[in-house]
Amino acid sequence: GETRCWPSTWILGCPKCASSSVWDLARGSLGFCGAELVGLLEGEAEWHQKETHFWSGRGVVNASMVPMIGELFTELYPVRRVGKDCAGYAEATPDNLKTAEAPSLLKKAAPKSVSALFRFVVVLREPIARDLSWYNHLRRLSLDLRSQMLDYCEVTGPYEEYARCQAERFEMPVHRAHEKGLWRGIYKPQLDSWARWFDRAQILVLDFDSLVFYNTSTHIRTLATFLGLQADDDNLPTTIPHTNARGNQQTTIDCEVRDLLDAIYAPWNAQLYALLDEDHRIGRAWDGEPPFRPFEPMPCTSA
């Protein structure tokens, strides 16, 4: 019989939207496993069990590789562990959400009967808070890693400098095309590209604040149900781990810069809310998906 399989659960992102916390929850309390570090991931660091980066650049670079990529990818997920030490497999590369080609490549690579059972989890965070977290993340990286990842704006100065640089480059086609910089926080087109290739009811969209602050225990139950787990409510945790909360350099931002970024994000946020409303109104979303709480304005301080 088959010796390898596909992960059933995909935590798509976004980056700095508690994807590691959801991952820890999935792996700890919900019983999922991550990729084995074999094949293309042989010798890689442990965090690749969570993030294979297969669909956002590592394995698949273009559509002509699709037939072979299924083979390379499923090698990471041996059948023998399922039902033994794993309830199933989960993949959580947070760049997947913003990678426009990822859903079509994944859809073409996986057998239909398998991809129809995929469950995608999307957590969205107020985009300025997300960007500040990303800036702090970049500052913690080694210079070497940083130079591979930088979105053309330096993080050597305060966040405000980085943000102004990003705002200036916002209209540059290269930023848009490569989902760089501020585009990472523009969620509406990102959701569109996933919902074009997969049934919207396979995608659970949650807002970060409800998940981590306001409705944690109900959201964990919702998540478990969505993922098809026969979890007994009494055995589910009521709090979510707080992963990736390492000493942030900067935690407050200047109001002028907040307003500058908000002017860019506000119309896109409005489009996101309208899309989610429509998804619920016409019954395109999974019927257990909770209402999306509009983002609270990013707090700021006036100089």
Ligand X SMILES: Nc1ncnc2c1ncn2[C@@H]1O[C@H](COP(=O)(O)OS(=O)(=O)O)[C@@H](OP(=O)(O)O)[C@H]1O
- Residue 84: alpha-carbon gap to chain centroid: 27
**Minimum CB–partner distance for residue 213 and ligand X (Å):** 7
CA distance 258 to 26: 34
- Which residues, 178 to 237, sit near ligand X by CB under 6 A? 212
Q: Pick from 272, 126, 269, 114: which is nearest to 192 by CA?
A: 272
Smallest separation (angstroms) from ligand X to the CB of 115 = 24
Cβ neighbours of residue 68 closer than 8 Å, sequence gap 6 or more? none
**Smallest separation, CB 28 to ligand X (Å):** 13
Is residue 34 within 8 Å of 22, Cβ to Cβ? Answer: no
| Residues 10-42: b if buried by 16+ CB within 10 A, e if exposed | bbbbbbbbbbbbbbbbbbebbebbbbbbeebbe
Q: Which is nearer to ligand X, 196 or 213 (CB)?
A: 213
Nearer to ligand X, 94 or 185 (CB): 94
Give least dist CB 283 to ligand X, A: 30
Q: Per-residue x/- marks for ligand X, 10-39, CB under 6 A? A: -----xxxxxxx------------------
Instruction: Identify the residue whose tokens are 């935690």.
Output: 251
Applying CB under 6 A, does 244 fall inside the site for ligand X? yes
| Residue with smaller CB distance to ligand X, 104 or 243 | 243
Dihedral pair phi/psi, residue 194, rounded to 5°: -75, -40
Please report how close the Cβ of residue 171 comes to ligand X at its closest, in angstroms: 26
Note whether 8 binds ligand X by CB under 6 A: no
* Total of chain residues touching ligand X, rule CB under 6 A: 18
Q: Which is nearer to ligand X, 52 or 136 (CB)?
A: 136
Question: Given candidates 248, 267, 288, 296, which one binds ligand X under the rule CB under 6 A?
Answer: 248
CB 207 within 8 A of CB 293: yes
CB 120, CB 96: distance < 8 Å: no
Window contacting ligand X (CB under 6 A); options: 9-17, 69-77, 145-153, 194-202:
9-17
| Nearest CB to ligand X, comparing residues 95 and 279 | 95
Q: Is 13 helix (H, G, I), strand (E, B) or coil?
A: strand
Alpha-carbon distance 203 to 143, whole Å? 36
Per-residue binding letters, 100-139, with ligand X (x by CB under 6 A): ---------------------------------x--xx--
- Binding segment (CB under 6 A) for ligand X, from list 25-33, 239-247, 266-274, 275-283: 239-247
Which residue from 242, 250, 263, 274 is in contact with ligand X, where contact means CB under 6 A?
A: 242
Q: Tell me how far apart the alpha carbons of residues 142 and 126 are, in angstroms, rounded to a whole number.
A: 27
Residue 17 in tokens: 């939207």
Q: Does 74 contact ligand X by CB under 6 A?
A: no
Cα–Cα dist 267/167, whole Å: 15
Q: Does 240 bind ligand X (CB under 6 A)?
A: yes
Report d(CA 60, CA 70) in Å as an integer: 10
Say if residues 191 and 272 touch (Cβ distance below 8 Å): yes
Q: How far is the CB of 195 from ligand X (least distance, A)?
A: 21
Residues that bind ligand X (CB under 6 A): 15-21, 94, 133, 136-137, 212, 240, 242-245, 248
